[in-house]
Amino acid sequence: MTSSPDAPTETAPGPRANGHRPTLSVVIPTLNAAQQLGRTLDALAGGGIDMEIIIADGGSTDGTQRIARAFGATLIEAPRGRGPQLRTGAEAALGDWLFFLHADSVPQRGWQVILRGFTGNNENQYKAGYFQLILDDPAPAARRVEDLANWRSRHLALPYGDQGLVISRAFYDFLDGFKDIPLMEDVDLVRRIGGKRLLALPSAVTTSAVRYRRQGWWLRPARNLCCLALFYAGAPPHWIAKLYG
């Protein structure tokens, strides 16, 4: 696996200081995520799973780094951009399994049991798992967006990054992992994984609906679909990122 152009800088030792190698590495890319990160880290705590949490931060100035340290996470400074941050975090990870999660995506209670079952099955060594999507909004429009996202995941084999992704280190390295692109890094990777190797996990993550509330329950999905179509058509990811907003 090739190295990221900028070497990661570890600014907090986290629970790895004693040299222990965990089973699971949770990798979270952040950029000014202080309002959401605490809830996500709180949901990850406990549960009897041997893990480390890596925060791959793109230069936050709002207290994100302080929150990461307070929860005992390993804080990594990474080149800004979701693809580079995820890749840098994965390069620093020690676990045999990688769990990529957005800062505003909160796993449901019992997620540890689900992941222990998935990672403990040898047949999943060269497969990847994703969660069902729930939005943190009671509006009927939110249910429509959820249904569309979960249909897309099941029938088109296109789960997005806000649904989480669990993959073995061996399979991730075999695929050469996330690319250094600012957007569509999730679509790029799941396309290389392939639909037959993607499994829907029997659990969900609750993700922030702030973009939908701010930009509109119809406009935001339409913009996402436009970005996806442009990516499939070969448009440069940095150009698509400007449209995504």
Gap between the Cα atoms of 78 and 57, Å rounded: 6
Q: In the chain, how many domains are there?
A: 1
Q: Is residue 216 part of a domain?
A: no
* 127-to-6, 87, 136, 177, 193 alpha-carbon distances in Å: 29, 19, 29, 13, 8
Q: Is residue 3 part of a domain?
A: no
Q: Is residue 220 part of a domain?
A: no
Strand order in the sheet with 97-100: 9-12, 74-77, 51-57, 24-30, 97-100, 165-168, 128-135, 198-207, 105-107
Q: Is residue 75 part of a domain?
A: yes
Gap between the Cα atoms of 189 and 125, Å rounded: 16
| Residue 17 pLDDT | 55
Per-residue pLDDT band at 198 (split at 50, 70, 90): very high
**What pTM value is reported for the model?**
0.91
Q: Is residue 70 part of a domain?
A: yes
Per-residue pLDDT band at 7 (split at 50, 70, 90): very low
Gap between the Cα atoms of 134 and 149, Å rounded: 9
203, 114 Cβ separation under 8 angstroms: yes
Residue found by looking up tokens 């995820």 in the block: 86
Q: Is residue 152 part of a domain?
A: yes
| Residue 233 pLDDT | 96
Q: Is residue 230 part of a domain?
A: no
Residue 78 sits in a domain whose CATH number is 3.90.550.10
**Tokens matching residue 90:** 């994965």
| Residue 244 pLDDT | 85
Q: Is residue 4 part of a domain?
A: no
Gap between the Cα atoms of 22 and 116, Å rounded: 13
DSSP 8-state code for residue 55: E
| Residue 186 pLDDT | 97
pLDDT digit string, tens, across residues 140-188: 999 999 999 999 999 999 999 999 999 999 999 999 999 999 999 999 9
Of 144, 100, 215, nearest to 224 by C-alpha is 215
Task: Output the average pLDDT for the chain.
Answer: 92
Q: Which domain holds residue 46?
A: 9-211
